[in-house]
Structure 1
Amino acid sequence: MVAARILVSVGIFFHGCDSDVRCRDDHGVEVDWYILYKLPNTKKDGSSYLYMDENTNGWTVSNQKIGSSSGCLGRTLKPLLDFYVKQTEGFGYLLYNDQPPNPYVAPQSFGHSKGVVMLDRQTGVWLSHSTPKFPTYRSQNFWPESGNANAQAFMCITFPYAQFEAIGLQLKYIHAYSFDSHVPQVFHMELQCVAQRSCYPKKEPWFKEADLTSLGGRSFLSFAKYTRFKDGKV
């Protein structure tokens, strides 16, 4: 049984919401959270993965490939991929990665962190991961081949819109390197600030904890720290 309280290094369900911005499993079904573990490269193709959510009772072997539009990543990222084509009104996103896709290069002053934030004014997704150059810059082929060799991990959580103010603050403390974004001005200022790479902690404390509540009412504890946390530097 998976604990309801999960540490992110980083119930009551809401009804009547037609937002498409949700974590989704391999079948496209909305889930409150999932964890994906891409297996390291084998003699096959390095694109197989294990999957877990609140309904699976542990790890399952997916019959999808990591870069497939029919897998959980492709289905979860669909609002972002659609936005590239349709410029969907009321949708926002922020992509951050300390090893971003070309032509971007993240200065060393930014935090060692990788993730995807997508949202509208109802729900949103925070997808934390470990994959360099993910997702491929504004391409429908979102999976970078450079991600095949090593094992990779993903954690997706669906949150109500209001929680992204706190998530924006966590990203500020991480000093996440945003390489691509579209954050409408009506969205939380904290996300706009991170998207513009214009904010970071300027005084102690150099860390921040946040209690976050998913759309399904589950509690997640997020830890964030700035580069000056206990490093003894001026």
Structure 2
Amino acid sequence: MMKITGRYFGKKLCSDENKFRAIVYKAPGQDTGKIIFATAAGSWDNGASAFTNNGGHSFAKTLENVVGNHINIKFLAYNNAPPGVPNVNTKSNSKGVIILSTAADSAAWIVHTVPGFPTARTPYSWPAAENARGHLLICLTISESQINVIAASLLLVQPMVHYNDIPETETTGMPYFNKLAGGKIPTLPPFTSRRSIRTENAGGPVAVHIYSKSESSKYGEHK
């Protein structure tokens, strides 16, 4: 279980036109969401575009180089219900994408709750069946150096990595990321961890705390 509190090529990766976005919440039964902008973190804004709109929705824009092809954009995707693979048994419910640029010190971490989404290198397609359910999508623009910290937390929850094209030349000196990409899992304590990263934002970086625990941990079981 993992709990989170808290540019590439001249523009922020987590973006919607000229605005930086961090969090989108979609209520059950709706095809649009509520948005928190980094410039107005205390208030929610109504999303104007449906999640199915690959040309107008911000997360479709954020994922354009995940579902498409870009020579300098690489990523690792994990999901307990991998796209196109039915009836998979996993030890984790974690879902997300780690994206980086091979041309600059620029990366992003997307955490979400949508099963089977997104499909790598395939045109954007929001699963319409998920409109009936509530979902949360978080995008954090980070530096590449933060990826190893994120991977260390993910190792405890043992996510299913279903796609990775990040070259090893980009992750030299990142032992936790390389273990994550290689499917290795921790076998010794500690079974819980708290780690922190910072977003890339010239106007004021935001500290993000990542809490994770392994299947072997009993911490918080009765809380």
Report the TM range for the smaller structure's normalisation.
0.7 to 0.9
Deviations 1:188-232 (A, max 9, x none): 2433332332x111101111211111112211100111111128x
Whether 1:23 and 2:14 are equivalent positions in the alignment is yes
Helix, strand or coil: the match of 1:209?
Answer: strand
d(CA) in 1 for partners of 2:60, 2:170: 25
Q: 1:9 to 1:177 in 2, by over 3 A?
A: farther
Contact 1:183 1:195 in 2 (8 A): no
The equivalent of 1:65 in structure 2 is 50
Other-structure match for 2:190: 205
**In the superposition, relative to structure 1, how do residues 169 and 193 fare at CA in structure 2: closer, same or farther (>3 Å)?**
same
1:37 paired residue among 17, 25, 37: 25
Are residue 142 (structure 1) and residue 144 (structure 2) matched?
Answer: no
Please state how far the C-alpha of 1:30 moved relative to its aligned partner: 5.6
Distance 1:181 1:105 in 2: 21
- Partners of 2:48 and 2:19 lie apart in 1 by 18
Q: Which runs of 4+ in 1 moved over 6 A?
A: none
Amino acid of the structure 1 residue aligned with 2:45: T
Q: Is the 8 A contact 2:199 2:207 kept in 1?
A: yes
Please say if residues 183 and 191 of structure 1, whose CA atoms lie closer than 8 Å, have aligned partners that are also in contact. Answer: no
Residue 145 of structure 1, CA deviation: 2.1
CA RMSD of aligned residues (A): 2.3
TM-score by length of structure 1 reads 0.79
- How does the TM-score come out when normalised to structure 2? 0.83
CA distance in 1, matches of 2:185, 2:143: 24
Identify unmatched segments of 5+ residues in structure 1: 1-6
Indicate conservation of the 8 Å contact 1:19/1:120, yes or no: no
CA contact (8 A) 1:80 1:93 kept: yes
Deviations 1:8-64 (A, max 9, x none): 169xxx9xx736561112x2x362x511011211xxxx3111111222341111111
- Alpha-carbon distance, 1:105 to partner: 4.7
Aligned to 1:8: 4
Measured at CA, do residues 194 and 155 of structure 1 come closer, stay the same or move farther in structure 2, by a change above 3 Å? same
Cα pair 2:60 2:124 within 8 Å, conserved? no
CA distance in 2, matches of 1:47, 1:77: 18
8 Å Cα contact 1:21/1:124 also seen in 2: no
- Structure 1 contact 209–223 (Cα < 8 Å) conserved: yes
User: How many residue pairs get matched?
Assistant: 207
**Quick one: distance in 1 between partners of 2:19 and 2:166?**
24
* 2:108 maps to which of 94, 100, 125: 125
Q: Which residue, out of 64, 80, 103, partners 1:78?
A: 64
Q: Does 1:100 align with 2:92?
A: no
AA aligned to 1:126 is W
Q: Is residue 117–residue 126 contact of structure 1 (8 Å, CA) maintained in 2?
A: yes
Note the alpha carbon deviations across 1:153-174, whole angstroms, 9 max, x for none. Answer: 1111110111111111111112
- Identical-residue share of aligned pairs (%): 20
Could you tell me how far apart the structure 2 residues matched to 1:206 and 1:157 are?
25
Question: What is the DSSP-based 3-state SS (H/G/I as helix, E as strand, rest coil) of the residue aligned with 1:134?
Answer: coil
Q: Within the alignment, does 1:47 sit opposite 2:47 as a pair?
A: no
Q: Deviation string for 1:113-161 (max 9, x for gaps)?
A: 1111111241111111111111135321231223221011111111011
Residue number among 163, 180, 184 corresponding to 1:194 in the alignment: 180
